[in-house]
């Protein structure tokens, strides 16, 4: 991808804004919850950090994607959960605290996991055109646009909790708007590449979305987690922070952004359909969990 306003400014700044707002919704208690509820968080993070990327590897092979599109699909699969997953979990009656915790931990870990899977995918699929990618440059870039703004947001929340909490709904709308700008800006900037490859990668993206949610829901039940926890984990796997995959991919090769851009076009639709399906069931589970009296 040639350097452009979108690549240099829009994508990194937009993602940093999203991560900053995510930080505004977090407290240190969200990270401590990992130790307090290890089973739910553990199942979710294993699915998010291991199952989803490996599933992306498998689907790239199954659909015979080109090396660049295959790497882009793995980059997407390795991306952390997004704040929209938290919103849909809340609306569906799922366990929002679990969703927020998974988003927080996976986002913080993305500075290591995203470059790791990017390097593995580049080598596995023999993406010659990406051979000059310097992972030593990718790590600080991901760190700077994810962990740093996330931490800044948490500090602001800690120092000014009341106004931040009061502005929560407004901030979530800002996230949706910024995310839309990132996706639309990428499509406009690289429309030829995106539309030339959408047919090739569309089925793989849809399969990744549906299989990731289905597998995570099944493993949640096998781990004897309740439907509210299973909902949170499934939505976390279905609603990735594709803005991160787009931002990292855009700085390397235009084809890398195609899977994340296509995925973004329908992930909210499939996630919303799943959330609606789970709403009634989760209401019953919440009522059963509520103390008597």
State pLDDT tens for residues 60-70.
999 999 999 99
Kindly tell me if the per-residue pLDDT of 9 is higher than 80: no
Instruction: Please give the angle made by the CA atoms of 274, 280 and 282, to the nearest 5 degrees.
Output: 80
- Give 236 or 38, the one with higher predicted confidence: 236
Which domains, and CATH codes, for the chain? 5-284 (1.20.1530.20)
Task: Burial-class residue 100 by CB neighbours within 10 Å (0-12, 13-18, 19+).
Answer: buried
Confidence of residue 32 (pLDDT cuts 50, 70, 90): confident
Kindly tell me if the per-residue pLDDT of 170 is higher than 80: yes
Query: Considering the entire predicted model, what is its pTM?
Result: 0.83
* Strand partners for 81: 240
Mean pLDDT for the stretch of residues 203-218: 95
At 232 the pLDDT is 93
Report the C-alpha gap between 3 and 253 in whole angstroms: 11
- What does the chain come to in residues? 293
Report the C-alpha gap between 112 and 139 in whole angstroms: 7
Kindly tell me if the per-residue pLDDT of 14 is higher than 50: yes
Kindly tell me if the per-residue pLDDT of 293 is higher than 50: no
Mean pLDDT for the stretch of residues 72-98: 87
Report the C-alpha gap between 66 and 204 in whole angstroms: 12
At 214 the pLDDT is 95
Residue 102 CA: distances (Å) to CA of 49, 53, 86, 247, 288: 10, 16, 9, 21, 24
Least confident stretch, 46-50, 149-153, 181-185: 181-185
Cβ-contact 257, 192 below 8 angstroms: no
At 2 the pLDDT is 47
Distance from the first to the final alpha carbon of the chain:
62
| Unique residue bearing structure tokens 């509210």 | 228
pLDDT in tens, 99-146: 888 888 888 888 889 999 998 999 899 876 666 666 667 777 788 878
Mean pLDDT for the stretch of residues 14-32: 81
Collapsing DSSP states into helix, strand and coil, what is residue 224?
A: coil
């Amino acid at each position: 991808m040639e350097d452009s306003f979108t690549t240099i400014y829009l994508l990194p700044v937009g993602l940093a804004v999203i991560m900053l707002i995510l930080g505004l919704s977090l407290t240190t208690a969200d990270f401590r919850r990992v130790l307090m509820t290890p089973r739910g968080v553990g199942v979710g993070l294993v699915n998010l950090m291991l199952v989803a990327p490996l599933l992306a590897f498998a689907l790239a092979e199954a659909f015979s994607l080109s090396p660049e599109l295959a790497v882009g699909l793995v980059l997407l699969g390795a991306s952390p959960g997004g704040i929209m997953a938290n919103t849909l979990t809340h609306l569906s009656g799922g366990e929002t605290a679990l969703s927020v915790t998974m988003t927080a931990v996976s986002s913080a870990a993305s500075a290591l996991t995203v470059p790791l899977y990017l390097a593995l995918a580049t080598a596995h699929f023999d993406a010659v055109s990406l051979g000059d990618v310097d992972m030593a440059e990718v790590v600080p870039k991901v760190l700077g646009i994810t962990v740093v703004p996330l931490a800044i947001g948490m500090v602001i929340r800690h120092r000014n909790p009341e106004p931040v909490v009061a502005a929560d709904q407004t901030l979530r709308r800002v996230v949706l708007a910024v995310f839309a700008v990132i996706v639309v800006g990428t499509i406009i900037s690289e429309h030829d590449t995106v539309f030339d490859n959408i047919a090739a990668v569309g089925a793989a993206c849809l399969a990744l979305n549906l299989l990731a949610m289905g597998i995570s829901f099944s493993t949640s039940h096998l781990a004897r987690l309740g439907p509210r926890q299973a909902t949170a984990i499934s939505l976390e796997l279905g609603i990735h922070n594709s803005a991160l995959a787009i931002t990292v991919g855009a700085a390397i090769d235009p084809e890398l952004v195609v899977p994340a851009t296509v995925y973004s076009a329908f992930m909210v639709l499939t996630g919303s359909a799943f959330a609606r399906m789970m709403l009634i069931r989760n209401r019953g589970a919440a009522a059963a969990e509520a103390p008597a009296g």
